[in-house]
Amino acid sequence: MSDESAEISGSPEWLALNESSGRFDDLALRRLFTDNPGRATAMTTTVGDLVIDWSKHRVDPDTMSQLFALGHRAGLRERTTQMVTGQRINTTESRPVLHTALRAPAGTVIEVDGHDVVPDVHAELRRMEAFADRVRDGDWTGQTGRPIHTVVNIGIGGSDLGPVMAYEALAGFRHDRVRCRFVSNVDGSDLAAAVGDLEPATTLFVISSKTFTTLETLTNARSARAWIVGQLGEDAVAKHFVAVSTNAEQVAAFGIDTTNMFGFWDWVGGRYSVDSAIGLTLMLAIGPDAFSEFLGGFRIVDEHLVSQPLETNAPVILGLIEVWYRTFCDLPTRAVLPYNRHLHRFPAYLQQLDMESNGKQVRLDGTPVDYETGPIIWGEPGTNGQHSFHQLLHQGTTVVPTDFIVFGWPDTTDSEFPGISAHHDLLVANCFAQSEALAFGRTAEEVAVDESDPQLVAHRTFPGNRPSTTIMAPRLTPSVLGQLIALYEHQVLTQGVVWGVNSFDQWGVELGKVLATAIIPELAPEAAPLGNHDESTNALISRYRAMRGRS
């Protein structure tokens, strides 16, 4: 990053946006559309199958010009090039950030310390494909010789959120026989619910942990191992467990044949890893061909990112608008509302992608930021949210920028379920209506035309002026899902570069892990003495001991 961008908040571009934020309330969407009849066309951007309407944002050409100038000042183009060419932009861990290499076409050259990593990526993909074909064809059998019917993915964080989100999203592409379940929570009821009704003889566990030491994952994995061994014997472990890891020694000690260990690299961050071997469970479900289409979708947006100028670059535009809202307009949160039930885990996936990446309070050089970073991401599928939190979106005191995601075709056809097209028309109508109502609202004068009770006019008035993006695609396919994920990945990159933070480490998750490790022995039946905790934590530990009848 350039010296200038390290002092980004003192730059002329930043100061100009600070001044512009004072007229944020004047950026009324009704007026912006009235003054510019071609606004919707001018502010709709296409990348791959995604059509992105960002015209309902509270920005005008001057605002966007200032944001693009800020992006240039921050060195966004240079930083993007550094990322995709394998430079060590994760400075706190001295690592490249090369999730884009996971979907690079064969023949591309991307070097890390003089070594081309692309052939390694494709070699691992071929190993995954061969294994997936064996499981899907029934050639891989368990201890009793029966084919696998259920794959249980055990991981946490990026080793869970990405695979489970994509598995749910691509339900229409799953294998007829092979079904997948996911365990992440160390709460024992999570594992019990996942395996309680399964047959051990037809169950395969995928243990996903880069180091094979992640406490929550290994706790669940050991319990799953005991379940298999108790039913099928010690020799069954090699046939009912595979690993996604880089720690061959620990994998072998667990009892997994290391020929059934699938690897990835330290330049793949967990929240960016669903398109690596971490996606093995997804490949088992949808097959190698569909997984290849999934990777191709990522690639479409990657190529758009590196080839388009900032001014026509879809993820850059959306990322800069989020910087405008979070930093200059003090809007702390963003809702992501997919109008497709199969994307019900997509907001949770984006929570990790965005909040773990940019929830930072120091710059790359360790100095504190003096501005707001990292929006709070949340959401639920439409139309359910319309009957709960949409009240706050429309008439609450907090302005919440919103992303709507919608598709032209339903995932189910009328031949599969009669009348489903009418359902989809209603679903899409609601999506469009919500964005319209948020943007333009309903004035008191408009309400008064229909409302005879003047006391109700204020209650039925909608202020409008609530900004949103609408992202449309023809269908939810593996390629389109890859495009969506990459779009948000590169938005996060854009925001982090402008804020001058490291979007690719996550030290904030470490302290709780360290403290939990200290507390575990203090809760055990033969409890260790209380440690050096605060008064409240010591009281909680003692109360737990008493509840469990432990002295």
DSSP string covering 362-401: B-TTSPBPSS---PEEE---TTGGGGTTHHHHHHSSS---
Please report the pLDDT score of residue 240 as a whole number: 98
pLDDT the model gives residue 6: 52
pLDDT tens sequence across 79-131:
999 999 999 999 999 999 999 999 999 999 999 999 999 999 999 999 999 99
Q: Per-residue pLDDT for 1 more than 50?
A: no
- 530/130: higher pLDDT: 130
The pLDDT confidence band at residue 315, using thresholds 50, 70 and 90, is very high
Given pLDDT bands bounded at 50, 70 and 90, which one contains residue 530?
confident
Among 62, 15, 10, 60, which residue's Cα sits nearest to residue 39? 60
Question: What is the C-alpha to C-alpha distance for residues 268 and 283, in angstroms, rounded to an integer?
Answer: 18
CA–CA distances in Å: residue 335 to residues 93, 168, 249, 314, 473: 31, 20, 43, 19, 19
Count of residues making up the chain: 551
Catalytic residue IDs: 356, 387, 513
What is the pLDDT at residue 2?
Answer: 41
pLDDT in tens, 345-404: 999 999 999 999 999 999 999 999 999 999 999 999 999 999 999 999 999 999 999 999
Nearest to 372 by CA among 318, 331, 424: 331
- Residue given tokens 């993909």 in the structure block: 125
Model pLDDT for residues 424-445, shown as the tens digit of each residue: 999 999 999 999 999 999 999 9
Cα(314)–Cα(303) distance, integer angstroms: 12
- Average pLDDT for residues 145-151, to the nearest whole number? 98
Write b or e for each residue in 203-219: b if 16 or more Cβ atoms lie within 10 A of its Cβ, otherwise e: bbbbbbbbebebebbbe
- What lies within 8 Å, CB to CB, of 146 at 6+ separation is 201, 202
pLDDT at 416: 85
Question: Taking Cα atoms as reference points, which of 219, 155, 205, 204 lies closest to residue 184?
Answer: 155
Going through 185-281 in order, the beta strands assigned E by DSSP cover 203-208, 241-244, 261-262
Compute and round to an integer the Cα radius of gyration of the chain: 25
Sheet of 376-378: strand order equals 44-47, 50-53, 468-473, 402-407, 333-338, 376-378
Q: Give the number of other Cβ atoms within 10 Å of residue 334's Cβ.
A: 23
Strands (E), 236-312: 241-244, 261-262
Q: What is the pLDDT of the chain when averaged over all its residues?
A: 95
In this predicted structure, what is the pLDDT of residue 5?
42
8 A C-beta contact, residue 169 and residue 346: yes
Taking the C-alpha atoms of residue 494 and residue 160, their distance in angstroms, rounded to an integer, is 25
Mean pLDDT, range 215-222, rounded to an integer: 95
As given in the structure block, the two tokens for residue 113 are 């310390």
pLDDT tier for residue 451 given thresholds of 50, 70 and 90: confident
Residue 15 has pLDDT above 80, yes or no: yes
Per DSSP, the three-state class of 76 is helix
Would you give the end-to-end CA distance of the chain in angstroms? 56
pLDDT of residue 3 exceeding 70: no
290 Cα distance to chain centroid: 20
pLDDT, position 513? 86
